[in-house]
Amino acid sequence: MENKKTTAPNASVGADAGQPSVKTNTEIVSNSRAQSNLSEDEFMAMCRKMDEINAPGYLHMVSHNELLDTPYVGKQAIIDDLLYTGAYTLAGAPKIGKSFFVAQIAYHVSTGQPLWGYNARQGDVRYLALEDDEKRLQDRMYRMFGVNGTDKLRFATAAKQVGNGLDEQLEFALHKYLGTKLIIIDTLQKVREATSDNYSYTSDYQVIGALKNFADKHSIFILIVHHTRKQPAGDTFEKISGTTGLLGCADGSFLLEKEKRTSGKATLSIVGRNQPDQQLYLVKNQERLIWELERKENELWKEPPDPLLEEISHLFHGELTEWKGSATELLALMGKDMQPNILTRKLNVKVSELLSEYQIQYTAKRIREGSSLCLKRIDQSV
């Protein structure tokens, strides 16, 4: 098998993705079929699919087999086991130390330094410190991190509101600073429309939903600082001010609490769609005003290495940086006895793990003869 160093192909898409509407007359079928190298039966099937998609009541659905036959890249972490692509909320009582906590996150991501032993993937950070001024930010960052600054971390002390200009401002920041990975909004109240003090579930869900949609659209991370309520609650996260719409729409939430306001210790509770629940016990370094990890409530369970992914990673230990071919050819290269469709389904499910744990990008596209696979070693340092 010849190893070719070429550009990786795009991930496979279904026949219903991005295809134009067509009229199925003989002339169009003949011309389009000749250009696309499809058989007449294949092209007619594509036309019927497009007619179905254009129907007013069309509802897109996928089968169990289609799920297994499609590689989906999952949410990527910017801080492993803590913060993933999407929108997260951080809630806590006023003056408890939330701004110091998010400043730590901002600094560690912008410098790529681990936070409490959690690996941070370096990226540009835009910190909307909307309850501060630049002098206060200067004093805080100097107290916490000294004089070692970075241009990857940039601050704003004023911004517009969600649905009233904030989207355009964030779009501008992403285009001006192309390496932006994390946006911090401190606080939510500063960017939501001030229509009433009594927000509904719908309005809470919509404001977080708008920020989540922006994060998902650009594959970035948005961390939104918010407050807790004074009333007691049965569930820890019910202490978040507002309705359950805030927690329900967000991809994850952090809750920072102290037993006593004068205490230097706090607990950080974490829930999310992409990580297990955690509780961290923190203590504030009174000299530098940074939060330090004292202990964890429970150690995270780590999935053991997958033998198949281990074997694939061994292929790239030498000079090989990219491989292309069929599933049958990959099995022959590894000397494995496995059905080709079983191999592709396993890789489709493990595509995110292969990328995050082994820095190997896997893509596949369907061709008439089966599937064409591409494995490419990449640099994930940023």
Parent domain of 45: 15-61
Q: What is the CATH number of the domain that holds 361?
A: 3.30.56
206 with 105, same domain: the answer is yes
Report pLDDT digits (tens) over 130-180: 999 999 999 999 999 999 999 999 999 999 999 999 999 999 999 999 899
Helix (H, G, I), strand (E, B) or coil at 332: helix
* 101 CA to centre of own chain: 20
DSSP assignment string, 196-251: -SS--HHHHHHHHHHHHHHHHHHT-EEEEEEEB-SS--SSGGGGBSS-THHHHHSS
Q: How confident is the model at residue 377 (pLDDT cuts 50, 70, 90)?
A: very high
Strands (E), 208-358: 221-227, 252-257, 265-272, 278-285, 290-296, 322-325
pLDDT of residue 218: 94
Distance CA 340, CA 326 (A): 8
The CATH number of whichever domain residue 193 belongs to comes to 3.40.50.300
- Do residue 135 and residue 269 come from a single domain? yes
| Number of domains the chain contains | 3
Using CB atoms within 10 A of its CB, is residue 293 exposed (0-12), middle (13-18) or buried (19+)? middle
Does 243 score more than 80 pLDDT? Answer: no
Token couple for 373: 């696979």
pTM (predicted TM-score): 0.76
pLDDT at 8: 39
Report whether 236 contacts 218 (CB < 8 A). Answer: no
215 and 191 in one domain? yes
Residue 360 lies in a domain: yes
Q: Do 107 and 57 belong to one domain?
A: no
| CA 218 to chain CA centroid, nearest Å | 9
Q: Are strands 322-325 and 370-377 parallel, antiparallel or unpaired?
A: antiparallel
CA 34 – CA 38 distance, rounded (Å): 7
